[in-house]
Chain A
Amino acid sequence: MDDLSRFKQTYFDESAELLAVAESGLLRLAPGEVDMDEVNAIFRAVHSIKGGGGAFGFNDLVAFAHEFETVMDGVRNGDIPVTTILVDTLIRANDVLARMLAHAADGTDAPAGTTDDTVAALRRVLVQADAAPGTAVPAAPPAAAPPTHYADDEDDEAGIFGDALAAIQAARDDAAPAGTVPAGTVPEGKLRWTVVFRPKADLLLSGNEPTYMLRALRRLGDAEVVCHLDSLPGLAALDAELLHMSWTVTLLAGPEVGRPQIDDVFEFVADDCDIQISVEAPPPAVLPAGRADAGTASPGVGPAAPAEPALPAVQAAPAAPPVPSAPTQAAPGTAAGNGGKPRTGGPAGDHAGPAAHTIRVDLDKIDRLVNMVGEMVITQAMIAEHLRDLPPGQFQELLEGLEGLAQHTRELRESVMSIRAQPVSSVFSRMPRLVRECAAMTGKEVVLVTSGETTEVDKTVVENLVDPLTHMIRNSIDHGLEGPEERERTGKPRAGTVHLSAAHRSGRIVIEVTDDGRGINRAKVLSKAIEKGLVQPGATLTDEEIDNLIFLPGFTTADQVSNLSGRGVGMDVVRRNISSLGGRIGVYSTPGEGSRFVLSLPLTLAVLDGMVISVGEERFVLPLTNIVESLRPKPADLHGLVNKCDVIMARGEYVRLVHLHRLFGIPKAIDDATRGLVVLVETEDGARLGLVVDEVLGQQQVVIKSLEANFRRLDGVAAATILGDGRVALILDVAGLREMSRHGAGTAPGGPASANSLSGSLPPPQTTPRPTARPVLAERPESHQRQPV
């Protein structure tokens, strides 16, 4: 059972990739310019999903995949013309397939009726194709028969032995096989193909099924199938998992069947078998070479081999009358939208293509590797620290060795980190789909341009990019771009352009979403903000500040809530998501010309740029993204506020002071802010605090370690890390500190806490905007203490 579930997991992983392949293929499918490779890739993807699903007994899934595959087959044969409607239907089918897979993965049944609409749509496509046969095969009824004809292929329990047993039966009866083409004659206008199909013994192990190929051959014309049992070993020596048979198929087919069609049949197994294909044209009465001894299988000792010399021809009886293949449950039901499909990897290559030079590795293994490398870095730093105490001039070789070690460690760390890195294309490739839908919904014409898809960034970051990017692109299309008419009036091309780009810049990844729409309507934004009480009336804000108002919680300018946006949960969520990843977001807008959203994110979530600070004897790490500046206040800058707390005047704003040592109960720390330092920090939603600390020790990249793995969450602490001397330092959670300090310092531990999760799993707490709500600029001016990151 364990084994099976392991295979299942592999199947789901692969299926997710295949779905991605199919989807990206479908999106590229456009009327008029059909790339057959693309179509084949989609077909193969669906086919593989179906095949695997059958192996695990996901019947609903298989039934649906079959419908899908049938239509794809039609497209492949040219029977079904590629139209926009077709592509839409197929994309929807792909989604349904994803949903079915998700249900199969959960072990739940898809709600009845999930597939109904789509199946109906797919069948409609088929019916239309039948009504107006495609261009490729004008008058070839048998060959071009709708493939639904063979809908029961996969259900054939007789499977592999169906033909062989029938052949044996025929031989026993010693009856001339009725209705077969007389051997040796090639009727007028037909070709006789002889296909010798000798699979390798391990064909079955790779999940291939020779029966399907034989049936596929029969579909091409009248076929005689002869099974050779000569290599069948005795029962004692029989390995039931290996294939001991080979076949010779004599196929009488019309001129429309050519070598490519026959090759197609063996497309999936070409590497796993030995195939000889020869053809004879009409001049009749020539016995195909090898036919004579084809049936003279030396009788094996085994029970299944009484094959006598005979002419074991079997009529290529079309399998049973067309069964409306596996009707999916008819009851109407809710199509529970479990669309969340795991998407891993970039575009997986051609499934049937040559083995790719990649391996599938469990993420845990990589994480362990990353961990160990992190340890090495720390250990190496420790050794270096000890060596510094050695008398200079001696141990020169040791020092040189250590230098080399440091170099290697750094390289090792980089390469290990790069294993986790993924191109952002896995996110970007979902966007054309989104744009298509948004464009359809808003009635706008949109062109999506992407660049920098190959930019690599940590897997976790990639995964967490999907939601923010989705929001931003929707926002750009819904709010940014004008309708086609309006665009024409203002002299722009009818179709708006949304440009999505990614690039590495100074150790971070920068993602930009640019549109050439109308830009942010500042007057409207400001009046809305005042109306919603986010800004006080009469406040004067700069253009940039107004633009950034759109990131405030609860802000929306849409007059009507649409499906796309307008609920006011958009851009503030985007900002929070980005912040929880340690990133920043900013917007730049030019009225009439468009807007540009700029996202900057760390390349990995495993390490963090932090500022090491000390309080008493303890050291802490503050995420650099939270720090605005640090300063040593003069006594005149400090003020008491109703005897409750101290405030400091910083950058024209009163900021509350929080003494970290009071909050955390740390002894022997500096209490007087004028003798220590104040680090001005800012939470994700823009609230500022002045943290009073003893000293700022310097900037450092730290490896993020979980505190919860062996202990539990603590208020005001986001995670932990290990510093160069091997000691643990806590990484502070600024939003948590703010919460703590609001409820009075040193409150009971373990209370419900706000979490600014560095791992990105939890959104930071939603705090109400301050009444004055000065928008905080995401791209802050650099302060003197803060080094650029």
Chain B
Amino acid sequence: MSSSTAIASVGPRSDLQPMGGTANGTDEQYVTFTVGNEEYGVNILAVREIRGWTPESRLPNLPDYVRGVINLRGIIIPIFDLRARFGGGPTQVSKRHVVVVMQVGERTRGILVDAISDILAIGHEEIKPPPDVDNGLVDAEYLSGLYTAENRMVTLLSVDRLFAGEHGEPETALRAASAAAPAP
């Protein structure tokens, strides 16, 4: 844990160490969680805490994936509904739903997911690039890669891009992201 954290903070170094096992220093840890039938993962370094669902206060005139705001020990953080973000409609919340609180740049925000499933150590080499999806079909800019855990597929998310639209300049963020994506 400690070694991987230290390396991870420096950045992926897969070019130096061709990898194989999980004990290798190039691993990064991912927290994985489920939304519906799909499993997603985010880098553990971005995750600050995981908490049970508490009722939110709605914010006016925002897309349905902005669930609202909650009080996280005195700071007010927005909650994003990942299901709604991926077009699955708003989540019908229950007490078993979970909020993953993440640090994105200077901001703290939470994502609402169905359940936490695992913490995986994933080597850089094991991450497959997302398939050549049509930019219009899937907003692929927030997918950072795919990983196979046993026989499940875990979709790794790029946290900062996932929220790129909520910094107040959605247009530029999206354009920059799509410009960075390889041309089909």
Query: CB distance A728 to B74 under 8 Å?
Result: no
A401 within 8 A of B: no
Q: Mark B24-64, 1 if CB is under 8 A from A, else 0.
A: 00000000000000000000000000000011111111100
Across-interface contacts of B55 in A (CB, < 8 A): 727
A182 within 8 A of B: no
Across-interface contacts of A20 in B (CB, < 8 A): none
A746 within 8 A of B: yes
B69 within 8 A of A: yes
Query: CB distance A712 to B168 under 8 Å?
Result: yes
Interface residues of B, count at CB 8 A: 26
Across-interface contacts of A749 in B (CB, < 8 A): 60-62
Residue of A nearest to B60 (CB): A664
Q: What is the bound-complex CA distance between A748 and B170, given in angstroms?
A: 13
Output the least CB separation between A687 and chain B (Å): 21
8 Å CB contact of B58 from A666, A709, A713 = A666
Interface residues of A, count at CB 8 A: 35
Query: CB distance B75 to A705 under 8 Å?
Result: yes
Query: CB distance A375 to B60 under 8 Å?
Result: no
Across-interface contacts of A412 in B (CB, < 8 A): none
Q: Mark B60-79, 1 if CB is under 8 A from A, else 0.
A: 11100000111101111110
Most buried by B among A705, A715, A728, A748: A728
A333 within 8 A of B: no
A374 within 8 A of B: yes
Query: CB distance A663 to B60 under 8 Å?
Result: yes
Q: What is the bound-complex CA distance between A746 and B75, given in angstroms?
A: 27
8 Å CB contact of A711 from B60, B61, B69, B170 = B69
Query: CB distance A728 to B61 under 8 Å?
Result: no
Query: CB distance B74 to A720 under 8 Å?
Result: no
Query: CB distance A710 to B76 under 8 Å?
Result: yes
Output the least CB separation between A257 and chain B (Å): 62
Q: What is the bound-complex CA distance between A707 and B168, given in angstroms?
A: 13
Q: Mark A666-679, 1 if CB is under 8 A from B, else 0.
A: 10000000000000
Across-interface contacts of B70 in A (CB, < 8 A): 728
Q: What is the bound-complex CA distance between A707 and B78, given in angstroms?
A: 9
A716 within 8 A of B: yes
Q: What is the bound-complex CA distance between A717 and B58, given in angstroms?
A: 12
Output the least CB separation between A723 and chain B (Å): 9
Query: CB distance B57 to A728 under 8 Å?
Result: yes
Q: What is the bound-complex CA distance between A696 and B82, given in angstroms?
A: 35
Query: CB distance B76 to A378 under 8 Å?
Result: no
8 Å CB contact of A710 from B61, B73, B108 = B108
Residue of A nearest to B74 (CB): A375
Q: What is the bound-complex CA distance between A374 and B108, given in angstroms?
A: 19
Across-interface contacts of A711 in B (CB, < 8 A): 59, 69, 76-78, 107, 109, 166
Query: CB distance B60 to A666 under 8 Å?
Result: yes
A729 within 8 A of B: yes
Residue of A nearest to B108 (CB): A710
Across-interface contacts of A730 in B (CB, < 8 A): 57, 59-60
Across-interface contacts of A638 in B (CB, < 8 A): none
Query: CB distance B61 to A375 under 8 Å?
Result: no
Q: What is the bound-complex CA distance between A730 and B71, given in angstroms?
A: 12
Q: Which of B155-178 contact A (CB under 8 A)?
A: 166-168, 170
Across-interface contacts of B59 in A (CB, < 8 A): 711, 714, 717, 730
Output the least CB separation between B131 and chain A (Å): 32
Output the least CB separation between B106 and chain A (Å): 8
Q: What is the bound-complex CA distance between A714 and B57, given in angstroms?
A: 14
A201 within 8 A of B: no
A757 within 8 A of B: no
Most buried by A among B61, B70, B71, B170: B61
Query: CB distance B69 to A707 under 8 Å?
Result: yes
A372 within 8 A of B: yes
Across-interface contacts of A442 in B (CB, < 8 A): none
Q: Mark A698-727, 1 if CB is under 8 A from B, else 0.
A: 000000011101111111110010100011
8 Å CB contact of A709 from B107, B168, B170 = B107
Output the least CB separation between B21 and chain A (Å): 39
Q: What is the bound-complex CA distance between A705 and B69, given in angstroms?
A: 12
Residue of A nearest to B68 (CB): A728
Q: Which of A736-767 contact B (CB under 8 A)?
A: 746-750
A618 within 8 A of B: yes
A536 within 8 A of B: no
Output the least CB separation between A682 and chain B (Å): 22
Across-interface contacts of A707 in B (CB, < 8 A): 69, 76
A40 within 8 A of B: no
Instruction: Check A720/B76 contact, CB under 8 A, given A711-B109, A728-B70, A728-B71.
Output: yes
Q: What is the bound-complex CA distance between A747 and B60, given in angstroms?
A: 11
A-B contacts besides A710-B109, A727-B71, 12 pairs, CB < 8 Å: A375-B74, A666-B58, A710-B75, A711-B107, A711-B109, A714-B61, A714-B62, A715-B61, A716-B60, A728-B57, A747-B61, A750-B168
Q: Would you list the 8 A-B pairs with minimal beta carbon distance, nearest first?
A: A664-B60, A375-B74, A728-B57, A711-B78, A749-B61, A710-B107, A712-B168, A710-B77
Would you give 24 A-B contacts (Cβ < 8 Å), ordered by A? A375-B73, A619-B57, A664-B60, A665-B60, A705-B76, A706-B76, A709-B76, A710-B76, A710-B78, A710-B109, A711-B59, A711-B166, A714-B59, A714-B61, A714-B62, A717-B60, A720-B69, A722-B71, A726-B54, A728-B68, A728-B76, A730-B57, A730-B60, A749-B61
